Chains A and B, each alone.
Chain A
């Protein structure tokens, strides 16, 4: 039983992370894996698994003696007030930029696949208003909702995968030779950059119970990620081949549109759209909660609730300001978001852990 009704379990936190990844994965992985690793692209999650497992161990080690703390507290404790504030501010700025990108991507996905002539503000305001009213109730409500929606999302994903099996061409996935090793390492870059989001969940680590089980649930989550990411890549590259997938803007939607059940049930992409909305809602809620938690830690405030509204309004404006078109948005994701995610999600936690170990030894 949880020690407080205001807190979530580490299992729920990992589910929030998995739903967060889902949204970005279907948008980024297929095209990037196809472009960099060709027909071997479906193996890129295997290469990315080892760094992710390392990240799980890093996070576990950071929280080993600070079970009631969040990541901001650990950064302060390790780097001191001045450098700690600088690093936390860096995380705050980056997460606010990321929130704008996620909100914009949510709208762009609808504009490019279903409702091209609808004003973009309609989508952004709707999802932000929904996240705003849910967040006012706290992270516990979001986690419980996510726990339930996670099952639906997984079922939809598996059903769509099974329905795609008749369209698979083995020639699109094989042969894979040792010449593919280097391209595979390159293609795992996008996977690692998205999986590094795991770190950001711990900015509300003070709201997460039983952090001594980070390793256990983190490793279970990594197995889930490995299987589902491989399924996603097999589903996309396996149906159309890497040369098509690397050029298609929304590869997953493109594949789902091709599904035909007994030549009677077709155009079932609306089911996939439902899963995107669910995943994006959770993603926006989680990242917004991480932002307000950072603001709370940075200014030593008593509650996060009043700061949800400025963050949401900022997200609305920034989602419009981030890019003038989808092309700019995709470029920003490839050239800026991915490396910064790796630096802030993987490298900085490792640096903090090393400094913590050195200070303890001294």
Chain B
């Protein structure tokens, strides 16, 4: 019996990893990047980040993309869409279908977002500024697109608690994307807040499967060889959780913080002229995105 307890104790000792610092080391910006100057931020509106979980083999996903596109056309730059390609079944390259569906739009950061916040509902599904649609356990993802417009329109009238402006540039000689953000506290915040930088590529022409549902006026049902993939997430530049920049209970209105991030592009098929950088600030406790900003990469 004594031996058995020793065996159990050994198993316990060797089979448990207690993690005390889940976030590990902070990612720093490349020293080549140069910090820009920011003018006074006069924005008074809250921007809404719409993360669209999608995949080129998800035949109903163009329907969701079209709805988001229509909303953006109607509302304007307050709407910031990000297409996050996830789920192997819908987004993994399909060698058997070559030359169709060979581009892998999945990203480690996108997969992290899907596993952390999505995953409960299938595709297509979206998150609207990661608002918790169901408290405890939190749930951020919605699949029913019917009330989608109303939810977004409610948010765009909110008074922002944080302001944000972003500048980004591409250093071709080093294939380096540099991004800087200025965050300004507009209302005293009780919770910690973090900033995340995302690198997007817009207007990628590639294959997409489409069921024909949803009334997309430009495409017919079937395999579409020249589908316009918009705002595709290419990289979570400072990981999907980002970096904490505001300490809850220890901030005052007018506090400003400059944060930076960079990414060395090694993928030859990416087109820097189509790059966009999206930065957003979220509440660490509720996960809600309080402000977002999209900048073109100069």
Is this pair of chains taken from one and the same complex?
Answer: no
Taking Cβ atoms with an 8 Å cutoff, the residues of A that contact B are none
Taking Cβ atoms with an 8 Å cutoff, the residues of B that contact A are none
